[in-house]
Structure 1
Amino acid sequence: MTHKLFLDKIFKTPDDNKFEIAELKGKGHPDTLSDALASRISIDYAKWWMNELGVGVEQVPHHNFDKILLAGGEVNIKWGGGEVIKPFNTILAGNATIKQGNIEIPLKQIVSLSASALFRKSIGMKVEWDLDISNVSTSSQALSNTYSQGLFANDTSFGTGHYPLTKLEQTMYDVNIELEKIMQNKKFLGTDVKIMGRRINDEYVFTLAAGIKDESVNSEKDYFNHLSYIQEKILNKLPEPSRLSINQNDTPKKGTNEENYYLLVTGSSVENADHGQVGRGNRVTGMITPFRPQTIEAIAGKNLTRHVGGFYNIWAQQISKKIWERTGVGSQVVIVSEIGKPIQDCYIGVSSKQEVNKEIANETCNKVIKGYNDYLNDLMINGGGKHYPFNYVT
């Protein structure tokens, strides 16, 4: 079986609107951490099967780790460096195949190593957490049987993608890249950042929340010097006319108490009662774009070979981008399938302003679908990827 393609010229991008907004959560944001951890666990679980039992990537058994809650901890923030009082709690729910014949799959060890690697990379060495996997259940027999029969969809779901980016969306990317450079080169900036951008006609407004590590500041003066540095770097990335606000919830008029400023001990607000959850973070494009078609399905933590609610979003994004590269025509793509059907037996809708040659569109779809195994193998070997949240997984 193969896909069924439908072309449509009914298409409107956020550029056509007078008003547009986009949001981007950085790699240390609790929601991003949840997404990245779910993906990391799924990849490490698959790698265990491939390395220990010699299965191919397409034979990794049923699992979904797309239900993670990071319950915020407690810290004592202090000029010059505070301390962690209570670690945040990592609660994993979902389902997995935990036994193969007489072989027990060391799920807790896999999850623990995944969490350690991800948190230390995305937050830092000062981070502390607890781990609870008691809510992971054994995979259903029906789904396990479906897996043994070949590559069939294990859910009735859809995925979406679009390309190219609007000016606002591209700016959000550029700002986040600059912020990550600052995190790398200047250790005062925590990894928990969030950018909200809006455009009204041709005017842009950006609101940035940027957590400053308390160990890097001894006074208000140090704090505001850091904010000035960030502002200088970010303003160079913004279109004109633009307005930028940073940490506008600070209340310096209340005094020099640390609580009046956005300070962090570890670099992520998950340290202090701010919770994170899978599916509340960025979409596959790496940001949240409410003026674009998008599914509320979480890509993170889903089985990457059979859960179409996850990888159909990757397919859709790749198809739209490749159509743009071949034809110069922008599009949005929606892909849907049914549980129990072969994953390639899907319906693909492509909407665009200008007509897209159907032969080119079909070739593009076939190339993406047939190349997916190579994409997965690269993901397993190198650990990361171009799509969110895999770009934060190593």
Structure 2
Amino acid sequence: MNIFIEKIKDPVERQEVEFVESKGVGHPDSICDDVCEICGKALATFYKKKFKTVLHYNIDKALLVAGSARPKFKGGKINSPINLIIAGRATDKVGSEKLPVKKLIADTAKKYLKRFKLARFNIIVDIKSGAENLTQITKKKKPVANDTSFGASHFPFSRTEQLVLNARNHLNSQGFRRMFRAAGQDIKVMGIRTKDRTELTIAIAFIGKHIKDMNDYIVTKERIAEHLISKFGVNVKINTLDDITGDENS
């Protein structure tokens, strides 16, 4: 093992070591982020259409609780669904009128999750009414902030960042899925640059019904690695914790 210690003072491309990670659309973190984002947009659209303004809401918390499955070559079985808990606050009453906030969020999440055709989800919406001092903000004529949150970003991407982003987007693409039907949507890409040498370590969930046996899995994984090496020109490692001497649970 090589250990590098350096001060973080120069642009990242001048550092000797660089780590970059990105998660695919089927990764639990991505699902939670995307569901909160799309549910928030649906709420804003609903408020704007009905009241001509966006009422207070804060849908920014989700928890994906893993289900259980019995993996098997040529098939497998889902024993229990994934629980997706969506939490936050939203204006659910104006005057004496109750607003269908929970139903709107549940329906929006359900529609979004249909893209994951092989997964089963149980959607739990735990949304409470907004605090009175925050719900009053939308009544002010002068625009004001309702939170102290802020975001930070940077541009342009380093070469390693762009590589990881391109690899993730390719793995998420329909073209890649047509080439490798066994590759699932739950992926994570990590790029590691050590001086001038860069490699990708990738975790890919495989779909059991498209894998005949352990040998077929090994061959498919090698084909994907060769495809990525050819496309991106760097060394690629996939599912590095595999025990190929075991069975489909390894």
TM value normalised by structure 1? 0.58
Alignment of 1:118-157 (within 5 A): 118-121=112-115, 123-124=116-117, 126-134=118-126, 136-149=127-140, 150-157=142-149
Separation (CA, whole Å) in 2 of partners of 1:54 and 1:183: 43
Instruction: Kindly report the root-mean-square deviation, in angstroms, between the aligned alpha carbons of the 2 structures.
Output: 1.7
Query: Hey, which bits of structure 1, 4+ residues long, moved more than 4 A?
Result: none
Structure with more contact order per residue of length (Cα contacts < 8 Å, sep ≥ 6): 1
SS of aligned partner of 1:127 = coil
Partner AA of 2:35 in structure 1: L
Alignment of 1:254-333 (within 5 A): 255=246, 257-260=247-250
Alignment of 1:346-357 (within 5 A): none
- Shift in Å, 1:232: 2.2
User: In the alignment, which of 19, 22, 29 is matched to residue 21 of structure 1?
Assistant: 19
Q: What's 1:43 paired with?
A: 41
Cα distance change, pair 50–187 in 1 and its aligned pair in 2 (3 A): farther
1:191 and 2:189 are equivalent in the alignment: no
User: In the alignment, which of 221, 225, 233 is matched to residue 231 of structure 1?
Assistant: 225
Alignment of 1:82-93 (within 5 A): 82-93=76-87
- Shift in Å, 1:108: 2.3
Contact 2:56/2:137 (<8 A) preserved: no
Separation (CA, whole Å) in 1 of partners of 2:60 and 2:219: 40
Q: Which runs of 5+ in 2 are unaligned?
A: 1-8
Q: What's 1:175 paired with?
A: 167
- Shift in Å, 1:163: 0.9
Contact 1:171/1:237 (<8 A) preserved: no
Q: What's 1:247 paired with?
A: 239
Contact 1:108/1:133 (<8 A) preserved: yes
SS of aligned partner of 2:84 = strand
Q: What's 1:337 paired with?
A: none
> Could you give the per-residue CA deviations for residues 246-281 of structure 1, whole angstroms, max 9, x where no partner exists?
01111012x3x2101xxxxxxxxxxxxxxxxxxxxx
In percent, how many aligned pairs have the same letter? 27
Partner AA of 1:180 in structure 2: N
Contact 1:92/1:133 (<8 A) preserved: yes
Q: What's 1:111 paired with?
A: 105
> Could you give the per-residue CA deviations for residues 320-344 of structure 1, whole angstroms, max 9, x where no partner exists?
xxxxxxxxxxxxxxxxxxxxxxxxx
- Shift in Å, 1:243: 2.4
SS of aligned partner of 2:29 = helix
1:72 and 2:70 are equivalent in the alignment: no
Q: What's 1:211 paired with?
A: 205
- Shift in Å, 1:34: 0.5
SS of aligned partner of 1:131 = strand
> Could you give the per-residue CA deviations for residues 351-380 of structure 1, whole angstroms, max 9, x where no partner exists?
xxxxxxxxxxxxxxxxxxxxxxxxxxxxxx
1:97 and 2:95 are equivalent in the alignment: no
How many residues align? The count is 239
Contact 1:174/1:237 (<8 A) preserved: no
- Shift in Å, 1:203: 0.7
Cα distance change, pair 128–143 in 1 and its aligned pair in 2 (3 A): same
